[in-house]
């Protein structure tokens, strides 16, 4: 944008507008009707949003009187765009590790240092993000097509044994480690990533990658409606479909754990309310409620006091599941995340 | 050839009809034919502010756009139909420009422009952008009806001693109102349907219905979209029916 | 509904006699011109400016577009798709427009209703309809499973699906253009040609086609130009590997905030559109396009 042209022209244009626009005056009056303070929270929709509304949003509204408006879809670029444009569509969002690093480097996040005393467990506060929950990208498939056969990402790459359409998230930092696992690298030796090898592996199955998902809901729809036969998808979405008796199943084997962090968009006019929300969202009991319902692993250790054995089995961080999965290791990524993302996007479109 | 024509007519019409049964589905998926029927998604649409709010926003925006467009276009249309002046051809072309510039191009422009003047994601911002896009269609409709206007009526009024503004108000407007109404309707629909610019410049509180539908299709393609489609479709059908009845009544 | 053409009379205004000078019409046009200048030309100009200034001054983005295999392929795909869609709408639209012009008034009215209904239905709704139809649990898959058995075909997210949907979405423009031209053919002309012993095929070739030609040119131009800039349909149901230029522009902004690159691509798209319309304007006059 022409951020470089002096802010003076900007000012005069804005001033001219507030003087001239009779139209501009009439509409804010309409907006004022919906008074009370409102916080805009970016959500993933579906079961994620239902769980968040029940365990995080509603208690917060009861406590503070502030309304929470969920906003979707989730988009990293929108976070960056709104910091640049000053027009905020959401104040609070969740980011995965790789995105948190990108956002922190690009100076898109409001400082959360004031929460230091209350978010005091190890790893709770990281790069202006507050750790909330762990989730896994797992291998899932259409049972009618493959039965119980596929076991690992190697099978995802084995087009001869398992012909059919594939789908992954359009998210470089999550796809590349999976590609290496599919190419036979043991999951404890993935990092630092051999980026070239990962792209070569992706090349091999490219014709079968019919579509890329970007939204959690969309991934569930693609699997449920049989649009794709095998998919790398968040565990919660598959378990929900399985609970619904859809002919799909999954394996924890080779699942990739990422951590979701609450962050506040830098410069939002509702910064203080946003910080209060983030603090409230990781309160042990509320976080436990959210995680139990949405099937995530809480990252606040105090939450486990509220989690039963039966709930824990469905979480990626449970003692049964944790040995089978691997974690994102963004500090040993093996390349510049932004550059790799850009290369990946072009690869997708080529 | 005529039989072939009917086949193509079926191709044109049939896909629209698939949407209606899906809206009465009771299933989560896009299964067709639906495994069970119900009004579940109609309830979901009317009960969810995330659908009703964009609908209201779109109605507000489209109404404002229609009004603003008519205020701007009406004098211009009279000038261009009734006067000859240097540069008229160029003016005509300029008025058509918003119709021929691809929406994605101007969407990028509006995104940068509106954020510079602090109107990104605001009602005025969306209304200004949509008004510019509605000008050509309203202008075309209005000039067409103006060209068909019999000027001797105005001359008669003037020769009977009416002032020009009286002639305009009591003769021109009553005769031309269907043209005005049609032009305003076209402007309204242009704004109500506009998707690409709205995706880039509307925001959480100003989200338009097409933007909501686009995001929803991208997110999960659930049957609520079929409900909205069916409702929109019903409005279009009613309008078409009304137009046909009017034509029939008018001979 | 869009048939707005009527002979321009162009008589000088009487309520404002010419003697009063030429400033009056300008006064009437001025608010609209000022509005479009401020709220259309300025944003459009900003796209041009960003294409050579963001993130740094220079023509780097254009050089990249002209030399980079990715962008060149996107451009080629866009033009090829637009051409294909234009030709397909002509092949499909002609019989329909012809039937409308030749069938009885009742039939013609019914066909007109079908076409205008489709025309007035939002692009999004029609795209969604194709998503349902071509989906794995949609009617085509259901039919093929019932009649042929076996696994349903993969139709969605392919070049086929987005092309088919775009043909369907744009066909009303073609039909209305063709119909406007065909309607003007006098039945008497056809009868006299036939009575002079011309076989139907040659009546078609030597009488109908030349008379329909302006409608064909109009329809092809309209559909081609609209298709070049199509965003919604290819993004929602097209193949990720065969993106069209509008989708790439949107993605550059949405994912990377690469305004300069997106603007440069926009300039290329805008220039292509303007060249096609410019040629049309010189030959026929732009105002006829929407007639």
Q: Could you list the residue range(s) of the whole structural domain that residue B242 is in?
A: 1-29+223-251
State the Cα–Cα distance between residues C26 and C281, nearest whole angstrom: 24
Domain ranges of chain A: 34-133+259-317, 135-257+323-349
Name the residue facing C136 among A1, A209, A227 (closest C-beta): A227
pLDDT tops 60 at residue A19: no
* Torsion sign, CA atoms A333, A338, A343, A349: positive
Q: Do B168 and B122 have their domain in common?
A: yes
Q: What is the pLDDT of residue C278?
A: 92
**Mean pLDDT confidence for C38-62:** 95
Within 142-201 of B, beta carbons closer than 8 Å to A belong to: none
Give the CATH number, domain containing residue C77: 1.10.3720.10
Looking at residue C128, the DSSP 8-state letter turns out to be: H
Contact yes or no for B106/B114 (Cβ under 8 A): no
Contact yes or no for A23/B64 (Cβ under 8 A): yes
Mean pLDDT lowest for which of A4-8, A45-49, C57-61, C113-117?
Answer: A4-8
pLDDT tops 60 at residue A66: yes
Q: Do B9 and B97 have their domain in common?
A: no
pLDDT tops 90 at residue A242: yes
Q: Is B121 on the interface with A (CB under 8 A)?
A: yes
- A160 versus A149: which is more confidently predicted? A160
pLDDT tops 50 at residue A18: no
Q: Which residues of B touch A1 (CB under 8 A)?
A: 112, 115-116
Task: State which H helix or E strand residue A130 sits in.
Answer: strand A129-142
* Among C226, C274, C237, C232, CA closest to C250: C232
Give a yes or no: residue C38 inside a domain: no
Q: Do C248 and A75 touch (CB under 8 A)?
A: no
Which of C31, C256, C260, C265 would you mutate first to test chain A, the one with the most A CBs within 10 A?
C256
Q: Is A350 on the interface with C (CB under 8 A)?
A: yes
Helix/strand/coil for A38: strand
Q: Do B96 and B16 have their domain in common?
A: no
Query: How many domains in chain C?
Result: 1
Give a yes or no: residue C206 inside a domain: yes
Task: State which H helix or E strand residue A255 sits in.
Answer: strand A248-264
Q: Do B113 and B204 have their domain in common?
A: yes
Domains A34-133+259-317 and A135-257+323-349 share a fold: yes
Contact yes or no for B44/B170 (Cβ under 8 A): no
Task: State which H helix or E strand residue A262 sits in.
Answer: strand A248-264
Q: What is the pLDDT of residue A146?
A: 93
* Among A91, C277, A13, C270, CA closest to B108: C270
Q: CATH number for the A34-133+259-317 domain, one of 3.40.190.10, 3.40.50.300, 3.40.50.720, 3.30.420.10?
A: 3.40.190.10
- Residues in chain B, pLDDT under 50: 251
Q: What is the pLDDT of residue B226?
A: 92
pLDDT tops 70 at residue C214: yes
Give a yes or no: residue C47 inside a domain: no
Looking at residue A302, the DSSP 8-state letter turns out to be: G
Q: What is the pLDDT of residue C291?
A: 59
What Cα–Cα distance (Å) separates residue C46 from each residue in B66, C49, C50?
Answer: 26, 5, 6
Whole-structure pTM value: 0.89
Mean pLDDT (chain C) is 87
Q: What is the pLDDT of residue A26?
A: 41
Place of tokens 């704004």: B191
Q: Which residues of B touch C25 (CB under 8 A)?
A: 79-80, 82-83, 85, 88
Q: What is the pLDDT of residues C217-257, one digit of tens each?
A: 999 999 999 999 999 999 999 998 889 999 999 998 888 88
Give a yes or no: residue B38 inside a domain: no
Share of chain A above pLDDT 90, in %: 69
Query: How many domains in chain B?
Result: 2
Q: Do C122 and B193 touch (CB under 8 A)?
A: yes
Q: Which residues of C touch B32 (CB under 8 A)?
A: 132-133, 135, 137-139, 142
Give a yes or no: residue C52 inside a domain: no
Q: Is A247 on the interface with C (CB under 8 A)?
A: no
Name the residue facing A73 among B31, B64, B215 (closest C-beta): B215
Q: Do C266 and B244 touch (CB under 8 A)?
A: no
CA A19 to mean position of chain CA atoms: 42
Share of chain C above pLDDT 90, in %: 56
As beta bridge partners, residue A297 has: A134
Q: What is the pLDDT of residue C16?
A: 44
Q: Is B52 on the interface with A (CB under 8 A)?
A: no
Q: How far A226 CA sits from the closest chain C CA (Å)?
A: 6
Q: Could you list the residue range(s) of the whole structural domain that residue C234 is in?
A: 57-288
* Torsion sign, CA atoms A2, A4, A6, A11: positive
Q: What is the pLDDT of residue B35?
A: 86
Where are the alpha helices (H) located in chain B, listed in sequence order?
Answer: 2-23, 40-47, 49-82, 88-100, 103-116, 123-147, 152-159, 164-167, 173-193, 196-201, 209-219, 224-249
Interface residues on A facing B, Cβ-Cβ cutoff 8 A = 1-2, 10, 13-14, 17, 21, 23-24, 27, 30-31, 40, 45-46, 69-73, 84-87, 89-90, 214-215, 217-218, 220-221, 224-225, 244
**Mean pLDDT confidence for C33-49:** 97
Name the residue facing C25 among B85, B213, B225 (closest C-beta): B85
Homologous superfamily (CATH) for A135-257+323-349: Periplasmic binding protein-like II (3.40.190.10)
Q: Do B115 and A10 touch (CB under 8 A)?
A: no
Q: Which residues of C touch A167 (CB under 8 A)?
A: none
Mean pLDDT lowest for which of B101-110, C13-22, C42-51?
Answer: C13-22
Q: Do A225 and C74 touch (CB under 8 A)?
A: no
Give a yes or no: residue B19 inside a domain: yes
**Mean pLDDT confidence for C3-17:** 39
Q: Do B152 and B240 have their domain in common?
A: no
State the Cα–Cα distance between residues C244 and C235, nearest whole angstrom: 8
Q: What is the pLDDT of residues A74-99, one digit of tens each?
A: 888 889 888 888 889 999 999 999 99
**Mean pLDDT confidence for C171-192:** 86
Q: What is the pLDDT of residue C153?
A: 84
The residues, any chain, with a CB within 8 Å of residue A275's CB and separated by 6 or more, are: A110, A112, A114, A115, A264
State the Cα–Cα distance between residues B211 and A270, nearest whole angstrom: 25
Q: Do B194 and B249 have their domain in common?
A: no
User: Residue C151 — pLDDT band, cuts 50, 70, 90?
Assistant: confident
Give the CATH number, domain containing residue B153: 1.10.3720.10
Which of B219, B223, B226 would you mutate first to test chain A, the one with the most A CBs within 10 A?
B219
State the Cα–Cα distance between residues A261 and A252, nearest whole angstrom: 22
Q: How far A48 CA sits from the closest chain C CA (Å)?
A: 23
Q: Do B185 and B112 have their domain in common?
A: yes
Any chains having at least 3 CB pairs less than 8 A from chain A are B, C
pLDDT tops 80 at residue A265: yes
Give a yes or no: residue B118 inside a domain: yes
Give a yes or no: residue C6 inside a domain: no
Q: What is the pLDDT of residue A29?
A: 41
Q: What is the pLDDT of residue B244?
A: 76
Q: Is B12 on the interface with A (CB under 8 A)?
A: no
Give a yes or no: residue B231 inside a domain: yes
- One DSSP character per residue, A171-208 reads -HHHHHHHHHHHTT--GGG-PSP-HHHHHHHHHHHGGG
Q: Which residues of B touch A87 (CB under 8 A)?
A: 115, 118, 120-122, 203
Q: Which residues of B touch A6 (CB under 8 A)?
A: none
Q: Is B74 left (phi over 0), alpha (psi -120 to 50) or beta?
A: alpha
Mean pLDDT lowest for which of A221-230, C1-10, C40-49, C70-79?
Answer: C1-10
User: Residue C194 — pLDDT band, cuts 50, 70, 90?
Assistant: confident
Give a yes or no: residue C11 inside a domain: no
Q: Do B77 and B144 have their domain in common?
A: yes
Q: Indicate whether this complex's ipTM tops 0.90.
A: yes
Q: What is the pLDDT of residue B250?
A: 59
Q: How far C260 CA sits from the closest chain A CA (Å)?
A: 8
Mean pLDDT lowest for which of A6-15, A123-132, A172-181?
Answer: A6-15
State the Cα–Cα distance between residues C83 and C71, nearest whole angstrom: 18
Q: Which residues of A touch C154 (CB under 8 A)?
A: 165, 210
Enter the tokens of residue A309: 């054995």
């Amino acid at each position: 944008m022409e951020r470089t042209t002096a802010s003076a022209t900007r000012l005069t244009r804005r001033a001219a507008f507030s003087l001239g626009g009779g139209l501009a005056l009439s509409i804010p009056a309409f907006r004022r009707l919906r008074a009370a303070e409102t916080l805009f929270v970016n959500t993933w929709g579906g079961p994620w949003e239902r769980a968040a509304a029940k365990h995080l949003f509603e208690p917060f509204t009861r406590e503070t009187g502030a309304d929470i408006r969920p906003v979707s879809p989730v988009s990293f670029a929108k976070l960056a765009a709104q910091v640049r444009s000053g027009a905020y569509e959401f104040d609070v969002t969740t980011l995965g590790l790789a995105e948190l690093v990108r956002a922190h480097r690009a100076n898109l996040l409001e400082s959360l240092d004031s929460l230091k005393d209350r978010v005091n467990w190890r790893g709770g506060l990281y790069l202006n993000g507050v750790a909330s929950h762990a989730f896994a990208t797992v291998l899932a498939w259409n049972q009618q097509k493959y039965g119980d056969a596929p076991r690992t990402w190697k099978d995802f790459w084995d087009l001869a044994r398992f012909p059919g359409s594939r789908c992954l998230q359009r998210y470089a930092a999550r796809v590349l480690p999976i590609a290496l696992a599919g190419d036979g690298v043991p999951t404890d030796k993935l990092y630092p990533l051999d980026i070239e090898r990962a792209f070569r592996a992706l090349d091999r199955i490219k014709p079968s990658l019919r579509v890329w998902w970007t939204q959690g809901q969309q991934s569930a729809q693609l699997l449920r409606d049989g649009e794709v036969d095998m998919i790398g998808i968040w565990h919660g979405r598959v378990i929900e479909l399985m609970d619904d008796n859809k002919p799909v199943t999954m394996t924890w084997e080779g699942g990739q754990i990422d951590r979701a962090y609450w962050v506040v968009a830098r410069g939002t006019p509702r910064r203080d309310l946003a910080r209060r929300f983030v603090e409230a969202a990781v309160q042990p009991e509320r976080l436990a409620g959210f995680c139990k319902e949405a099937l995530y692993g809480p990252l606040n250790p105090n939450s486990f006091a509220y989690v039963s054995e039966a709930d824990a089995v469905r979480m990626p961080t449970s003692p049964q599941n944790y040995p089978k999965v691997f974690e994102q290791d963004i500090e040993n990524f093996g390349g510049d995340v932004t550059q790799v993302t850009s290369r990946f996007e072009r690869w997708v479109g080529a | 050839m005529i039989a072939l024509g009917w086949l193509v007519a079926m191709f044109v019409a049939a896909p629209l009809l698939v949407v209606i049964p899906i809206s009465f589905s009771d299933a989560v998926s896009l299964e067709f034919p639906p495994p069970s029927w119900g009004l579940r998604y109609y309830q979901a649409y009317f009960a969810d502010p995330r659908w009703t709010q964009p609908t209201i926003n779109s109605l507000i925006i489209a109404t404002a756009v229609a009004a603003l467009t008519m205020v701007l276009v009406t004098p211009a249309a009279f000038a261009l139909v009734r006067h000859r002046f240097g540069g008229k051809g160029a003016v005509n072309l300029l008025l058509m420009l918003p119709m021929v510039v691809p929406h994605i191009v101007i969407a990028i422009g509006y995104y940068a422009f509106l954020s510079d003047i602090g109107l990104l994601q605001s009602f005025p911002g969306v209304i200004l952008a949509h008004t510019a896009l509605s000008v050509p269609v309203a202008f075309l409709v209005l000039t067409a009806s103006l060209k068909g206007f019999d000027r001797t009526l105005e001359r008669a009024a003037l020769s009977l001693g009416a002032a020009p503004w009286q002639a305009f108000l009591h003769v021109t407007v009553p005769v031309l109102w269907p043209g005005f109404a049609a032009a305003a309707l076209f402007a309204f629909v242009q704004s109500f349907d506009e998707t690409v610019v709205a995706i880039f410049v509307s925001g959480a509180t100003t989200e338009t219905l097409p933007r909501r539908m686009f995001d929803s299709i991208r997110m999960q393609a659930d049957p609520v979209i079929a409900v909205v489609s069916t409702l929109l479709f019903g409005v279009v059908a009613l309008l078409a029916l009304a137009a046909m009845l009017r034509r029939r009544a008018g001979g | 509904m869009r048939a707005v053409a009527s002979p321009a009379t162009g008589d000088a205004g009487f309520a404002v006699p010419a003697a009063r000078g030429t400033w009056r019409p300008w006064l009437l046009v001025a608010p609209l011109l000022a509005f479009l200048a401020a709220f259309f030309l300025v944003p459009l100009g900003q796209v041009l400016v960003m294409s050579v200034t963001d993130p740094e001054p220079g023509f780097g983005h254009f050089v990249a577009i002209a030399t980079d295999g990715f962008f060149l392929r996107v451009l080629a795909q866009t033009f090829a798709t637009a051409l294909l869609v234009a030709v397909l709408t002509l092949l499909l639209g002609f019989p329909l427009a012809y039937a409308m012009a030749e069938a009885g008034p009742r039939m013609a009215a019914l066909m007109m209703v079908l076409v205008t209904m489709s025309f007035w239905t939002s692009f999004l709704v029609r795209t969604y309809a194709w998503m349902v139809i071509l989906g794995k649990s949609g009617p085509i898959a259901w039919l093929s499973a019932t009649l042929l058995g076996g696994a349903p075909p993969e139709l969605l997210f392919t070049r086929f699906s987005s092309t088919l949907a775009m043909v369907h979405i744009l066909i009303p423009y073609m039909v209305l253009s063709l119909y406007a031209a065909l309607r003007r053919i006098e039945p008497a002309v056809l009868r006299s040609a036939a009575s002079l012993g011309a076989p139907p095929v040659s009546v078609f070739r030597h009488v109908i086609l030349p008379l329909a030609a302006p409608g064909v040119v109009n329809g092809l131009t309209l559909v081609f130009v609209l298709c070049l800039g199509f965003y919604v349909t290819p993004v929602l149901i097209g193949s990720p590997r065969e993106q069209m230029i509008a989708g790439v522009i949107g993605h550059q902004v949405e994912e990377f905030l690469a305004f300069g690159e997106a603007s440069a691509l926009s300039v290329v798209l805008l220039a292509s559109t303007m060249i096609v319309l410019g040629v049309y304007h010189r030959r026929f006059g732009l105002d006829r396009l929407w007639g």
